[in-house]
Amino acid sequence: MRLVDWLDKGASLGAGAPCLTMDGKSLSYAEVQALTHRVARGLNAAGITPGKHVAILSGNDPVAFACVFAISRAGAVWCPINPRNEAAENAYVLDNFDCTALFFHSKFADLVDDLRPQLPKLGLLVCLDAEQPFAPSLEGWLTGVPDAPFQVEPVGDLAMLPGTGGTTGQPKGVMLTARNLEAMTALTLIGYPFEGRPVYLAMAPLTHAAGVLTFPIMALGGEVVIMPYPDIGQFLTLAARHRATHTFLPPTLIYMLLDHPDLAAADLSALQCFWYGAAPISPARLEEAIGKIGPVMAQLFGQTEAPMMISMMAPKDHLAPDGSVARHRLSSAGKPGPLVRVAIVDADGNELPQGERGEIVVRGSLVMDGYYKNPEATAEATVNGWHRTGDIGYLDADNFLFIVDRAKDMIITGGFNVYSAEVEAALLSHPAVQDGAVFGLPDDKWGERVCAVVQLRAGQRAHPEAIIAHVKAAIGSVKTPKQLEIWDDLPRSKVGKVLKREIRAGKLGSPA
């Protein structure tokens, strides 16, 4: 299955059915297909031959997302460009990933115009929604181009070239093949509930998890309802209006949803599967979500290099046989998918027995083909044929995977290993805490001291000493922060992850 095959599969189940919907307007599968035929013809006529890299810079937009499938239909490779990135980072990605064409939305026209002199490889620029002095509009560019069926065979299996988060230097290009995306889609369809024709509500950016999760929806002829920007109130309205069956949000947005005054009255009865992932979730708030939203919460764990489905926890896995919440399992990332192998290894790459903590490694058709033009980084991410995730975890007796920390975030204080994720879970169990981050800072006595910064829920007040006492009662003194500050807001990445590096670089006060 090529990337465009997911669109064509959906069309075969009903060409007139709604495919992409935004602001109350829908494009049917037939209409999206026709647009992709025209855009693929245009790319081919412009010299974008199979194997070339084509980028898209846009917020959530149905025409922009349709161009993803057109790129595949032309035999080219899709390079998603995150609109929330800094300009310098996007310039680096466009140049280093050898992009030869760029589709962009007019809201980024000034940025693209500024970057053009730095990007001599970009031979084709097309604005999705309006003509620019330096680029035609999509409709202008497609003038006279027919929508008759058109398709070019790719030169290889490379389908998508996303960048890593760039948390440790410049982003690396992750070579995701059609086989990788097929494995991800198959795992999604195997592991989670799908009844009838699904309706997927996409509030998270389509350049990330929200985008690739549309492939299993399209495989079943489902509808993708696109939100142009995050808005929890609108999310609740659209979920009810469109009878959404599936959706995905990172934990930060789920916390906002749980605190929203309209949640109690919202009709979410059509939901079958509410995916969460991209960052650890508080077990206490997950239990709250099950109570307020229903037994539909569904975890996924993956990374750009092994997208989405390294391990999965379906809604039923959140519950005990008697229907009660399986509290002991809420801090788990689920079971490894049936099409992947997961192991826990020590620093030398030796597999560890059940229950022992070490680095999580994975192998199978889900794992990337390597980093683009970076064999050194590819080799560094590989041990004995396994892909290294950089996460520390263990497998329990029931084969559930527990992620305890990122390897680089583990704190060694007084000779003890403290896993920041465990401390963060204890912090978030405090009723006044909305979000938080735990990290280590150098300490003359302990080597490293456990530090924390938290953000309180709207309208809540709490003293740092009271939060520290709460954590100490939950997990003991060794793991309890020696220093804790309350901030109005926390710095976050483009996908909502709290940026510990920026917090570490901030001006914390002197320790008590």
DSSP labels for 374-424? -HHHHHHTEETTEEEEEEEEEE-TT--EEEEEEGGG-EEETTEEE-HHHHH
What one-character DSSP code corresponds to residue 371? B
Report yes or no: 197 and 17 within 8 Å, Cβ to Cβ: yes
Task: Tell whether 46 and 188 lie within a shared domain.
Answer: no
- Amino acid 327 reads R
Task: Tell whether 401 and 415 lie within a shared domain.
Answer: no
Alpha helical stretches, state H, 74-175: 87-96, 109-115, 138-141
Q: What is the pLDDT of residue 512?
A: 45
Residue 3 inside a domain? The answer is no
- Rounded to two decimals, the pTM is 0.85
Domain endpoint, select from 174, 207, 231: 174
Distances (CA, A) of 343 to 336, 348, 370: 9, 13, 20
Q: Is 164 exposed, middle or buried (0-12, 13-18, 19+ CB in 10 A)?
A: middle
- Tell me which of 492 and 102 has the higher pLDDT: 102
Task: Tell whether 38 and 185 lie within a shared domain.
Answer: no
What phi and psi values does residue 68 have, to the nearest 5 degrees?
Answer: -55, -45
pLDDT at 494 over 70: no
Instruction: List the domain range (segments joined by +) for residue 419.
Output: 410-505
Task: Tell whether 159 and 197 lie within a shared domain.
Answer: no
Question: Which residues, 6+ apart, have CB-to-CB distance to 240 below 8 Å?
Answer: 266, 267, 268
pLDDT band at 408 (very low <50, low <70, confident <90, very high): confident
| Cα atoms in the 13 Å half-sphere on the side-chain side of 158 | 21
Residue 14 inside a domain? The answer is no
Task: Tell whether 364 and 451 lie within a shared domain.
Answer: no
**What percentage of the chain exceeds 90 in pLDDT?**
76
pLDDT at 179 over 80: yes
pLDDT at 493 over 50: yes
**What percentage of the chain exceeds 70 in pLDDT?**
97
Domain endpoint, select from 406, 437, 462: 406
Domain endpoint, select from 117, 152, 174: 174
Q: What is the pLDDT of residue 289?
A: 97
> The domain spanning residue 488 has which CATH number?
3.30.300.30
pLDDT at 415 over 80: no
pLDDT band at 359 (very low <50, low <70, confident <90, very high): very high
Q: What is the pLDDT of residue 410?
A: 77
The phi-psi region of residue 235 (left if phi > 0; otherwise alpha if psi is between -120 and 50; otherwise beta) is alpha
> The domain spanning residue 167 has which CATH number?
3.40.50.980
42-65, pLDDT tens digit by residue?
999 999 999 999 999 999 999 999
Alpha-carbon distance of 238 to 223, in angstroms, equals 13
Q: What is the pLDDT of residue 167?
A: 46
Q: What is the pLDDT of residue 412?
A: 80
Residue 21 inside a domain? The answer is no
Alpha-carbon distance of 252 to 250, in angstroms, equals 6
pLDDT band at 496 (very low <50, low <70, confident <90, very high): low
pLDDT at 85 over 90: no
pLDDT at 180 over 60: yes
Task: Tell whether 226 and 314 lie within a shared domain.
Answer: yes
pLDDT at 33 over 70: yes
Task: Tell whether 244 and 358 lie within a shared domain.
Answer: yes
Average pLDDT over the chain reads: 92
Task: Tell whether 150 and 31 lie within a shared domain.
Answer: yes
Task: Tell whether 239 and 288 lie within a shared domain.
Answer: yes
Task: Tell whether 213 and 79 lie within a shared domain.
Answer: no
